Amino acid sequence: MTLREFLSDRLGRIALQLICTGLAALFLLATGTQPGVLALLLLALLPVFVTVQAVSFLRQCARLRELETILNTLDRKYLFMECVPPPGNLYERRLFDLTRRAGRAMTGAVSDAKAAQREYREYVERWVHEIKAPVTAARLICRDLNGNTRRKLIVELAQIEAHVERALFYARAENPEQDCLFRQVNMGDIAAEAIENHRPLLVQSGVRLETDGLDCTVCTDEKWAVFILGQLLQNAARYRGAEPVISISARACGKQTQLIVQDNGIGIPAHELSRVSDRGFTGSNGRARGGSTGMGLYLCKKLASFLDLGLHIVSQEGEGTTVTLTFPAKENLTKL
């Protein structure tokens, strides 16, 4: 708090005090007090008035510094009112008590909301694991079928599994550190698992896959990395061109390693490129082809941020899209 702010806040009180002093001086003059005596009296009162205001200003500054220090040292800043020492005067103590009660009510509401969110997330995770059983059973039943019907059902079941997996990862994305294990992983293994998970969609879409330079290792969580790459493969297959080709390659960039996923699909309009990672954004391509949830790239961005991965998207409408994942050096990982 500055002196100007202090004086501005007390302007009305100071003006009232000056008016009262002026009226008292006029009364003393009217009752026969000598002007010289009155002047001496006012000169004696002036330092007292200034001292009182200065002491009040310094006390308020010290109090504000104390409160700011307490707030800055708290990890959970919403507990601020529980840690602040009570003020001295009655009005501020009553105000302090009301604020503390309001803070406790807010803390209770936040705790209830977190508990409800946790219960919902746990329910989604249980549902995901339960739904896998009938999907697996349906896959086994498909083995007794022949021809085009079998292929179509396998592709649709793969899509169901992809949506279920996305729901599971979305539920876990709020607290990814609880299900994360960083270790040295071969880039080829990540690509192979992601391709195998989405093979039915890639085959039905007629996608030709090209891989290059994947014989390298990176330090990351394999499961989360496979999910991210799988989302990129799904997008490339869904928004494919006439003769779809997806290239997956890796290259060293100093101590970092870059995984590059490139396709020759329909591309992303330039004015939508900055929004493709926004939650729920489907874009014109998603609306035109249907089936888009706007969650794939959103989850990729969110999980990449947790894994310390750089995610960069370049696209040219009508020519294709290139997504670059930059894996950091092990010593630069903040989660280790």
* pLDDT above 90 (res 108): no
The torsion of the CA quartet 174, 175, 179, 185, rounded to 10 degrees, works out to 70
Question: How many CB atoms within 10 Å of residue 149?
Answer: 10
H-helix or E-strand spanning residue 227: helix 222-238
Tell me how crowded residue 78 is: count the other CB atoms within 10 A of its CB.
11
How do residues 227-269 score in pLDDT, each as one tens digit?
A: 999 999 988 988 888 889 999 999 988 888 999 999 999 999 8
Distance CA 218, CA 186 (A): 6
Average pLDDT score over the chain: 84
pLDDT attached to residue 21: 83
CB atoms within 10 A of CB 57: 17
Give the β-pairing of 217-220 and 256-263: unpaired
Is this model's pTM higher than 0.85 or not?
no
Domain locations along the chain: 3-105, 176-332
Separation of alpha carbons 180 and 223, rounded Å: 8
pLDDT above 90 as % of the chain: 20
Does residue 34 carry a pLDDT above 60? yes
How confident is the model at residue 103, as a pLDDT? 80
Q: Which residue has better confidence, 177 or 309?
A: 309
How many alpha carbons lie under 13 Å from residue 13 in its C-beta half-sphere? 8
Q: Average pLDDT of 161-187?
A: 80
Give the pLDDT confidence score for residue 81 in this predicted structure: 76
Give the other-Cβ count within 10 Å of 309's Cβ. Answer: 22
In this prediction, residue 332 has a pLDDT band, given cuts at 50, 70 and 90, of: low
For the domain bounded by 176-332, which CATH number is listed?
Answer: 3.30.565.10
